[in-house]
Amino acid sequence: MKKSENERGDDVYATGNGAPLPDGASLRTTNIPGNVEQFIRKEQQWLRDLNKSGYLATDQHLQDLSKLADHFDYQLAAQNMDMGLQIGEARATGNSVPLENGTSLHTTGVLANIDRLIRKEQLWLRNLNATRYLDTDQHLQNLNKLADHFGYRLVAQSVGMVKQVGDGVALVSGLRGVMSNELVIFEDGTYGLAMDLDEHYVGCVLLGSDEGIQAGDAVYETGRVVDVPVGSALLGRVVNVLGQPIDDLGLLEADIRRPIEYPAPGFVQRSPVDRPLQTGIKAIDSIIPLGRGQRELIIGNRQTGKSAIAVDTVINQRGQGVPCVYVCVGQKMSTVVQIVETFREHHALDYTVVVVASAESSPSMSYLAPYAGCAMAEAFMYAGQDALIIYDDLTKHAIAYRQLSLLLERPAGREAYPGDIFYLHSRLLERSARLNPDHGGGSMTALPIVETQAGNIAAYIPTNLISITDGQIYLSARLFDEGIQPAIDTGLSVSRVGGEAQNDAMRAVSQNLALDVAQYLELQVFSRFGTELDPETQRQLTRGERVRAMLTQPQFEPLPVAHQVAIIYAAVQGYLDDVSTEQVPEFETHFVQYLRQHYAGLLAEFAAGHWHKELEDDLKHALQRFRARWSGKANRGEV
C-alpha cells in the first residue's frame, strides 16, 4: 500500500480561491467546468469574425480585444496608417488607447498570435482532462489564470482513491488532511468513517453497502464527523444509527444535531450521585439502589432476564420526567419489535427513543450505535434533564469492533480483541454523569448490559465493564431455573453508590435486608444436611423464605417506591411469617389495595421519602388491621 508523495489527490473546483501546491504535490481535476473550453471556442469564433472584417468598429470591440490580449500578456498600441485618419494597426508592443468617435482599428498583427495561443490553451486543457493531474505549481498557476479570465475561482479539495474494498472496509490512499472519525463520501454516495490513519493509507469503515464501490473510485473528505439529530422530536420514534426514522411515522423534525463522539464531563462539572432513580424492582431499589448519573452493569448468561430488567426500568419512568434512550445492538428484529410493542403497550414509548442496529446491520453500524444513543441522551442531560440510557448489549458491540479492527489489520490481543477495547467502552460510559447546578444540573444514567458464557464473569469484556461501571446487577441462571424472577444474585451484585441513592423511607426499611437474605442463603445450605434446627434458626429460615418470595416480581409490573416501602417493611418485620410462601404475592397485592383505600396519605409520605416514628407507627397500625382481616379470610377459606 505504498504510494509516492505526488499521489495527493486534491480535487480542483472552479468555485473558490486558488491555493498553491506544496512541493511535489499534484491536484486531480475531475470537476473543471466545461464552460472554460466553451468560452475559449467563443473567443476563437469572435477572432475569426474579426479577422474577416479586419476592423474594430466600436470601443467595445477594442476593449474585448485588449482584455483578450492582456490574458496572454500582450498590450495593444495604436499607429496611424492611412490618409491621415486616426486608423491604427494593432501591435503587441504598447499600451492600449481608447478610440475616438468614428475611427476604427485594423487588426492584422495580433490576431494570428492570439489565435495560436488560444489553440495552445485548448490543447493544454484537453491533455489536462486526459491525465487529470497538475504536476507542477506552474500548471496550477496557468489553470488558475485561465479560470480567472472567465470569472471562475479555484478551490482545492482533498480527494483520495480506493485501493482495496471488501467486507465493509475500504483502504484509501490520499486524504492527507482527514481527521480521525471524519466522514468521507465515495463516488456512489456511500458514506464512510475514517478510523485507521496509517502513514500510507486511510482505513475507512463503510456506513452502507460496498456493492457500488470498487478500486480506483474517488473518495472525498467532508470536514465533519458523524452526528445525529437530538431533542424531544425523537421521543416516541424508532431510528437507525444515523438518526433516520425506520418506524414509518414520517420524517423527523429535529433542527439540532450533535456529534456522536464528545468529551466526558470534567471533574468540576460533576456533582455527587445522591438522587435515586427508581427501577420499580424491589430487589434493586432496596438492595442495589441506583442513582441518577450512575453507571450500573447488568450482567448474566443469555436468557436470564437482563433485558427484562432494563425494559421494566424504562416503564417505571412514566410520569417521572426522565426521557429514555434504548439502544439495541445486534438484536434480532423480532426482538426489537417485541421491545417496541411492550413500550407502546405500557405507554412508555412516548418518552423513549429506540436506536436500532440489528443483527443484519453491518459491523460499522453496530459499532456506532451506542455512541449515537449516548449523544441523544447527552443532549437531554446538558439541557438540565435527567436521562436514562440502556445499552443492549455491549458484548455484541465489542464483537463488532473486534471484527472491524481485524479487517483493518490492527494487532489482536487477548481473545483477539484490539488493544484499545477498554477505551472503546470507557469513553462511552464516562459520559454518564450528574452535572452540578452551574452546568444545568442534568444527569445521564447508564445501564449497560453484558452477556457472560456459562456464568464466567472473569472473561475479558465483563471484567473491563465491571471495572468501568459503578456496580453490577448479576443475574444467576440457577436462580432463574428455580423460578426466582428477577434472578438477581444479591451476593454478587453491588451498587457502589449505595444508600446515598435511596430516599429516607427506603433506606430505613431496607438497611438490613441484604444481610437477612445472606443469612438465609447460608442457613439454607446448612439445613440441607438434615440436622435438627433450633427454633431461632427455624424462624430465620421461615422469614428468609418469605423475604425471598417477597422480592420475586412479575415482569412488566414495576412498583412505585411507596408500595415497595410498605411491603418490604412488612416482610423484614415478620408480618409475613405466618403467610405461606405461595400466598405472599396475593398478600402483597391485597395489602397495597388496602393502603390505597385507607392510607393514601401514608403512601404519599413514603413517595416523598419521609420516614419518622409517627409514620412507622401508622404503618404498623395499618399492617395489624390488614393482618387481622387477612387472617379472618384465611380462616374462612377465602384466600
Three-state DSSP class for residue 51: helix
Q: Are 183 and 225 in contact (CB under 8 A)?
A: yes
Long-range contacts of 106-110 (CB under 8 A, 24+ apart): 106/54, 106/55, 106/81, 107/50, 107/51, 107/54, 107/55, 107/56, 107/65, 108/54, 110/65, 110/69, 110/74, 110/76
Q: What span, in angstroms and rounded, lies between the C-alpha atoms of 357 and 207?
A: 12
Long-range contacts of 520-526 (CB under 8 A, 24+ apart): 520/544, 520/545, 520/547, 520/548, 521/491
Confirm whether 496 is a catalytic residue: yes
Cβ neighbours of residue 435 closer than 8 Å, sequence gap 6 or more: 265, 269, 270, 271, 381, 382, 441, 442, 443
Residue closest to 162 by CA, chosen among 184, 183, 134: 184
Which one of 496, 507, 629, 636 is the catalytic residue? 496
SS (H, E, C) 573-597: CCCCCCCCHHHHHHHHHHHHHHHHH
Q: What span, in angstroms and rounded, lies between the C-alpha atoms of 315 and 322?
A: 11
- Spatial strand order of the sheet with 352-357 comes to 238-239, 352-357, 324-329, 386-392, 443-451, 297-300, 471-475, 494-495
> What does each C-alpha distance from 486 to 284, 381, 407, 595 come to in angstroms?
10, 29, 39, 25
What is the set of active-site residues? 496
